[in-house]
């Protein structure tokens, strides 16, 4: 029977950038096997050895997650649809996180009644709801593309205390999507420009500023005084730290993620539903699934996803409405496809399951957590510095340069002499490499290229291979800055 398989944006590079594929099959296993037969590059992205589904990949049949149920043996019927969703995630109406006691301690003056009159006119908000908003304390972690609309709308709504966390500075490349920052803010701390923007919207808001990088030894102290935590980060280590701290402290977390044209929003509250680890027990290996920074995102998408996160925050504060707790909204802005998928609590979750093994927020080695830590019996991946590569090219030494980046990345910074081979095609295209010549692998930051080298090793390639340390980011000032550059 014919089944429609929807492909998440993060996996479309493996299926010729198709958003959906029509295949034949009687079970999920049949469907995924045919998908692999037609697009062999996708196998490594979704399966481990022995055809075991990777832990960061979820499969939905008609919006129902089958991974924690019948798994790949789930039977299908004519007209069913399958969605493959990796990490980049019906709830009952929610109760307010703000107690009546705290609400009653707050009053609204005449200017606030005028400012928030549109809220006061809504039966589901009214005076009580607006006082809850004023009493609330919300922490926004990450002031980039998602954090920008979140803090803007929370400030406009009148949230009484907003905490902002980011250790980074504004760059020119941020301005395409991070609308809270302006041209004059380039090189300023993001917390500083965000603070100015919040004050411009509503000067009465109390702003707590944390220009720090979240670590295991500071996250609990930062989070503990807030009612709600909003995850607007762009890396997996931060996501797992935030999740663990929120679970252990009993805080609801509003999660958001974007990649290219696709976004995800969910509410994780382990007291009443699943946590982030329930949905994604482990992150993908670094480099296998590109990040937003590597894959880009259309400038309007974070506005849509960030506004949705802010909306979920307000529902938690006010109480009522349909929450995304136990659900994940997945929005494809380019193909205009929206799904609201159930997220189930995992009884085996190591932090909120029946027999938890995590009792405190612990720092961890991300590479070891992702299975990238070099084992003692493994051959280490050798690296080459950008200066050395530039010198070898100037000397016209025989080299093979393999570029594993996305096409849009190569259009920005390119190596005319490089061969473009996606990671998923390396094993079957290894005959294009000369084992008697050094092969240099390049990507944006030097992570995907390590994965590429390990992929070829597993496929049996014996030639000398080197990773460009730091990737194009490290090389552009050396290689691309002089006249006659390769850019």
Tens of pLDDT, residue by residue, the chain (487 residues): 777 888 776 677 777 777 778 877 778 778 777 877 788 877 777 777 667 777 777 788 877 777 766 777 787 777 778 887 776 533 445 689 898 899 999 999 999 999 999 999 888 899 999 999 999 999 999 999 999 999 999 999 999 999 999 999 988 888 888 889 989 999 999 999 999 999 999 999 999 999 998 888 899 999 999 999 999 998 888 899 999 999 999 999 999 999 888 999 999 999 888 999 998 887 665 555 555 455 567 889 999 999 999 999 999 999 988 899 999 999 999 988 888 888 888 888 989 988 888 888 877 654 455 444 444 445 678 888 888 888 888 888 899 999 988 776 777 777 767 888 887 788 888 888 989 999 999 888 787 888 888 888 888 888 899 998 888 877 776 654 443 444 3
Structure token pair of residue 403 = 């570029």
The pLDDT assigned to 29 comes to: 79
CB atoms within 10 A of CB 103: 19
pTM for this prediction: 0.66
The pLDDT assigned to 166 comes to: 93
Indicate the helix (H) or strand (E) that contains 476.
helix 471-479
- Choose which CATH entry (3.10.20.30, 3.30.300.250, 3.40.50.2020, 3.40.50.10700) describes domain 2-86: 3.10.20.30
CATH number of 383-479: 3.40.250.10
CB atoms within 10 A of CB 100: 10
The pLDDT assigned to 94 comes to: 65
The pLDDT assigned to 212 comes to: 92
User: What are the angstrom distances between the C-alpha of 313 and each of 22, 91, 305?
Assistant: 38, 15, 13
CB atoms within 10 A of CB 77: 10
Q: Could you tell me which of 231, 164, 150 has the C-alpha nearest to residue 192? A: 164
Q: Hey, what CATH class is 136-369 in?
A: alpha beta
Q: Which residue has the tokens 């919006």?
A: 63
The pLDDT assigned to 237 comes to: 83
The pLDDT assigned to 129 comes to: 93
Angle at 234 between CA 354 and CA 307, to 5 degrees: 90
- Residue ranges of domains in the chain: 2-86, 136-369, 383-479
Per DSSP, helices labelled H in 186-235 are: 190-201, 219-223
Structure token pair of residue 373 = 């830590």
Under 8 Å between Cβ of 135 and 98: yes
| Residues identified as active-site | 292, 443
């Amino acid at each position: 029977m014919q089944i429609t398989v929807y492909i998440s944006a993060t996996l479309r590079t493996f299926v010729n950038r198709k958003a959906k594929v029509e295949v034949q099959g009687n079970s999920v296993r049949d469907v995924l096997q045919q998908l692999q037969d037609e697009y062999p590059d996708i196998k490594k992205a979704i399966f481990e050895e022995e055809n075991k589904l990777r832990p960061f990949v979820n499969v939905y049949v008609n919006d129902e997650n089958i991974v924690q149920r019948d798994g790949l043996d789930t039977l299908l019927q004519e007209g069913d649809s399958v969605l493959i969703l990796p990490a980049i995630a019906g709830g009952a109406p929610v109760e307010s996180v703000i107690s009546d006691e705290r609400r009653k301690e707050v009053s609204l003056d005449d200017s606030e009644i005028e400012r928030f009159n549109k809220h006061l006119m809504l039966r589901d908000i009214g005076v009580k709801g607006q006082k809850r908003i004023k009493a609330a304390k919300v922490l926004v972690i990450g002031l980039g593309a998602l954090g920008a609309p979140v803090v803007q709308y929370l400030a406009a709504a009148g949230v009484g205390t907003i905490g902002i966390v980011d250790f980074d500075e504004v760059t020119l490349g941020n301005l395409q999507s991070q609308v809270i920052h302006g041209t004059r803010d380039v090189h300023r701390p993001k917390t500083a420009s965000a603070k100015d923007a919040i004050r411009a919207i509503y000067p009465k808001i109390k702003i707590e500023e944390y220009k720090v990088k979240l670590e295991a030894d500071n996250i609990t102290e930062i989070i503990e005084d807030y009612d709600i935590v909003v995850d607007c980060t762009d890396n997996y280590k931060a996501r797992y730290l935030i999740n663990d701290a929120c679970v252990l402290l009993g805080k609801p977390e509003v999660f958001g993620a974007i990649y290219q044209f696709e976004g995800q929003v969910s509410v994780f509250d382990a007291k009443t539903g699943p946590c982030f680890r329930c949905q994604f027990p482990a992150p993908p290996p670094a480099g296998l699934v590109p990040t937003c920074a590597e894959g880009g995102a259309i400038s309007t998408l974070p506005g849509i996803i960030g506004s949705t996160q802010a909306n979920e925050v307000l529902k938690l504060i006010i109480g009522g409405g349909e929450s995304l707790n136990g659900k994940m909204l997945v929005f494809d802005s380019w193909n205009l496809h929206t799904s609201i998928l159930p997220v189930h609590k995992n009884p085996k979750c190591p932090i909120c399951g029946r027999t938890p093994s995590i009792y405190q927020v612990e720092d961890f080695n991300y590479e070891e957590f992702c299975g990238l830590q070099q084992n003692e019996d493994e051959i280490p991946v050798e690296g080459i510095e950008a200066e050395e590569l530039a010198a070898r090219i100037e000397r016209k030494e025989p080299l093979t340069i393999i570029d594993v980046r996305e096409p849009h990345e190569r259009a920005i910074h390119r190596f005319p002499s490089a061969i473009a081979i996606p990671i998923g095609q390396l094993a079957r295209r290894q005959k294009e490499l000369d084992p008697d010549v050094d092969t240099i692998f390049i990507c944006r930051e030097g992570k995907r290229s390590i994965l590429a080298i390990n992929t070829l090793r597993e496929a049996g390639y014996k030639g000398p291979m080197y990773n460009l340390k730091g990737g194009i980011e490290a090389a552009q000032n050396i290689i691309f800055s002089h006249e006659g550059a390769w850019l």
